[in-house]
A and B are shown apart, each in its own frame.
Chain A
């Protein structure tokens, strides 16, 4: 295996970031702030700017239809779901104190927190929750967090029990409803919600919004979970990585999300700190299990054995990744971490291919820059690695419109991008018949039966056993090659403190509520 130093930027990278590495030696003539003491007491006040990646005219404040990355950042400031994901990707209470199932997972009791206030002064009531759930699962226009909910949430038969309790009725048992209710795309809105003056229960209140440029917020002083430290928050849209990093280094923004991996070392010496978080985001290769040659499980297993996973992480992710084992949802407690780590085994791959009569296999792999960072790079590596086993992989770099065009979800051998998700929601989205994004066309009846049983199973341990068996099926016959999980890279200025690694969304789950300026030197 070729050893590559993951920190070494390519020549183009150096050019891109202003030869910053080259001139860093001269930087001695200007003082840069030292790293903040994360344990120092936090100060109130200040106007904080965040540089968010992407965004454009499609930007929106709609709580249930975030399109761009800055939209997601805005959602997290304004709106809050009943439950939320903590930094360990575990569910914790939010505006609901608890959400508990009955014995067969068909009824869920929601207990609301007392005294939660919306930005316009109204107190949160069960009616607001019912209104929000109806809106997000509206069959005419279901929100991105509502499509899965709408399949089994029976709002007509759900009841408001008293001023802070609701019973949600499901049309079919669903063991992990709480996980769907913890998504930022299921925020609770007041019954008089108006998107031109968006109101939620979040830590910041809406001030102004210019699509493609910026959005501005003030601290919500009556926030139930302790008001934020910052007086004001501005989120800027950055289309360009260099501009974003420059703005951080020049002190014009205090944090940025999605830091390019080749500048991690450079910014460290220039008054900013990288924020590196483990995530469950993955960029798999997808093999269609219903189309030759991939319909032969030996071919699929051979291709999985061809992959040098560490090399892909080192080169396609610049070292910022965690090994994958052809399984997804690594943070879910049901994750089958006991299965042996699959490693490159060219001899075994060759012998499987010979058994399948595919010793001179020749396949086309479809990739695109639209899949996101690491996709085209890992595809290129796969072409090289496959050569070792005598497999000829033809790379087809499709335009974004073509990749996500008519043939999306029906490519024989391609790639896709998935964010952090727990096991059952991920399966529902990708791995059973009828799943919206089942790009591998995987529909093993035994697997589906296990999943259905698990959805009904109230006992967590028994559910874990069922889902372990399901993962063994995927490990042995699935259509995904999951070579790694990405680490999320963000950065903040050394003049602020309070942002911590978070396993879900970038920049501490966009947790500016906990951010503050460091005390001026005395």
Chain B
């Protein structure tokens, strides 16, 4: 699990004071600045990823292991394939250029183009994460609203105990229990692993997606709902909600229109972090459900010392983190009137 949830409440993007001008151009400037920062972050990631994988130690020795001494021809061929005769800086820029132009190199383990190996896996992971998000977001907000509504009462207590228990269970335990319950031991109603006939993408057999998605939803929902609940409570205690109530606005409307919209920002931040984590960090869940995502591919590539694959996958995961956080920041600004006006005024 990420340990970032507590920090999420305070990560509303800082409003950047801008010189006076039209609201539109101020917005554009702000956006350009954020995108520029995102690109800078990614570039720093690329430096780290490349030098951590390719430049430390002798990659040929790492790849060949105990065959290094016995097969000098293979060592020489690998060194040539990795362009080890060139200086590290030259190799870095050649690699970065390839990355930007879509030429991702070839896998050392089996000689196929990296793009061909990684592409379908990215799609698979994206489908898994988006399916989980579509279920999780309404569910988490719903639970948070019920919980906040019954604050301190029995339903709230029950929900909080259940949520904390689920948050304490590692995701693979949840997955194993779900499989035992629905596929193997108690009932035999759902597929245990995402096998679709003859190598079609996993979602071509929708039933087989139910358990992995459910596992991820159960793993993530407690965090999101607890964060949203606590910000809802904060808002519900505020003066303007009190005023709305005094004006006779029905409690349902207070909750939906006045409280929820203001409590949504911390929720967006924690959702973004959780989704980014789901994209690359759920290797155990991918293994458990035989799901062909990028997490399992990364582990396999590291095990094979397959540097071109590791580099591309690490950059993909970095890009997901940066991208999702950028979107979250933009949404946060849009949902925070004060920050919105700070930019455009």
Bound CA span A403–B175, Å: 34
Given known pairs A18-B185, A26-B186, A236-B195, the reply for A57 and B66 (CB within 8 Å) is: no
Find the residue from B186, B188, B192, B306 having the highest chain A CB count within 10 A. Answer: B192
Contact between chains at A250 and B292 (CB < 8 Å):
no
In angstroms, Cα B3 to Cα A366, docked, is 37
Q: Which residues of B contact A47 (CB under 8 A)?
A: 197
Residues of A within 8 A of B187 (CB): 29-30
Q: How many whole Å from A143's CB to the nearest CB in chain B?
A: 14
In the complex, whether A251 has a CB less than 8 A from a CB of chain B is yes
**Cα A211 to Cα B116 with chains together (Å):** 12
Residues of A contacting B95 with CB < 8 Å? none
Please report whether the interface of chain B is mostly helix, strand, loop or mixed according to DSSP.
helix
Pick from A56, A216, A245, A405: contact of B300, CB below 8 A: A56
Q: Which residues of B contact A26 (CB under 8 A)?
A: 185-186
Residue of B185, B191, B192 with highest tally of chain A CB at under 10 A: B185
**Contact of A57 (CB < 8 Å), options: B65, B180, B185, B300:** B300
Total contacts A-B at CB 8 Å:
125
> Closest CB of chain A to B245's CB: distance in Å?
48
* Contact between B185 and A243, CB atoms less than 8 A apart: no
B65, B110, B192: the one contacting A246 at CB < 8 Å is: B192
Q: Are A212 and B297 in contact (CB under 8 A)?
A: yes
Contact across chains for B300 and A18 when beta carbons are under 8 A apart: no
In the docked arrangement, what's the CA distance between A238 and B193, Å? 10
Q: Give the size of the chain A interface in residues (CB under 8 angstroms).
A: 47
- Given the interface pairs A212-B300, A214-B199, A243-B287, the reply to whether A27 lies near B193 with Cβ below 8 Å is no
14 A-B pairs in the complex with CB atoms less than 8 angstroms apart: A18-B177, A18-B184, A19-B177, A47-B197, A57-B110, A57-B300, A216-B198, A243-B287, A246-B193, A247-B195, A251-B188, A252-B191, A270-B184, A404-B65
Instruction: Give complex CA distance A387, B69 in Å.
Output: 38
Asked whether B289 is an interface residue with its Cβ less than 8 Å from the other chain, the reply is yes
- Beta-carbon contact of B287 and A240 below 8 Å: yes
Q: Could you give, for residues 161-196 of chain B, a 1 whenever the CB lies within 8 Å of some chain A CB and a 0 otherwise?
A: 000000000000100110111011111101111010
Within 8 A of B (CB), among A204-219: 208, 210-214, 216
Expressed in whole angstroms, the Cα–Cα distance for A16 and B179 within the complex equals: 12
Q: Are A239 and B296 in contact (CB-based, < 8 A)?
A: yes
Known contacts A208-B198, A401-B62, A404-B65; 7 further A-B pairs (Cβ under 8 A): A18-B176, A18-B179, A57-B110, A57-B301, A57-B304, A246-B288, A252-B192
Looking at the assembled complex, report how far the CB atom of B211 sits from the nearest CB atom of chain A, in whole angstroms: 10
Q: Which residue of A lies closest to B300 (CB)?
A: A56
List the B side residues contacting A245 at CB < 8 Å: 184
Indicate if A15 sits at the interface (CB-CB under 8 A).
yes
> Would you call A247 and B109 a contact (CB within 8 A)?
no
CA distance A401 to B57 in the complex (A): 14
Q: For the complex, give the distance between the alpha carbons of A282 and B137 in Å.
A: 53
Chain B CB within 10 A, most for which of A20, A23, A57, A251: A57
Of B181, B288, B289, B304, the contact of A58 (CB 8 Å cutoff):
B304
A236 to B198 alpha-carbon distance, docked (Å): 10
Q: Is there a chain A Cβ closer than 8 Å to B335's Cβ?
A: no
Is B334 interfacial (CB-CB < 8 Å)? no
Q: How far is the CA of A15 from the CA of B183 in the complex (A)?
A: 17
Counting chain B residues whose Cβ lies within 8 A of the other chain, the interface size class is 35 or more
As a 0/1 sequence over residues 297 to 340 of chain B, the CB contacts with chain A under 8 angstroms (1 = contact) are 10111011010010000000000000000000000000000000
Tell yes or no: B290 within 8 A of A by CB.
yes
CA A19 to CA B181, docked complex, whole Å: 10
| Cβ-defined partner of A210 (8 Å) among B184, B199, B304, B309 | B199
Q: A427: CB under 8 A from chain B?
A: no
User: Bound state CA distance, A407 and B176, in angstroms?
Assistant: 40
Cα A74 to Cα B292 with chains together (Å): 21
Mark contacts of A384-411 with chain B using CB atoms, 8 A cut-off: 1 yes-contact digit, 0 otherwise. 0000000000000000010011101000
Give chain A residues whose Cβ lies under 8 Å from the Cβ of B190: 250
Q: Does A59 contact B (CB under 8 A)?
A: yes
Q: Which of A333-358 touch B at CB < 8 Å?
A: none
Asked whether, in the complex, the Cβ of A59 is within 8 Å of the Cβ of B300, the reply is no
Closest beta carbon of chain A to B318's beta carbon, Å: 21
Judge if A449 is at the interface, Cβ distance under 8 Å.
no
Which residue of chain A is the closest to B188 with respect to CB atoms? A30
**A109 at interface by CB-CB < 8 Å:** no
Residue in contact with A405 in the complex, picked from B65, B117, B303, CB distance below 8 Å: B65
Contact of A252 among B181, B193, B287, B306 (CB under 8 A): B193
Nearest A residue to B112 via CB reads A211
**Closest CB in chain A relative to B181 CB, distance in Å:** 8
A25 to B257 CA separation, bound complex (whole angstroms): 50
Q: Which residues of A contact B303 (CB under 8 A)?
A: 56
Neighbour of A250 across the interface among B184, B306, B309, CB < 8 A: B184
CA distance A20 to B181 in the complex (A): 9
Q: Indicate whether A249 reaches chain B with its CB closer than 8 angstroms.
A: yes
A242 interface hit (Cβ, 8 Å)? yes
From B112, B186, B296, name the one whose CB has the most chain A CB atoms within 10 angstroms: B186
Are A247 and B192 interface neighbours, CB within 8 A? yes
The smallest beta-carbon distance between B281 and chain A, in angstroms, is 16
Residue B225 interfacial (CB < 8 Å): no
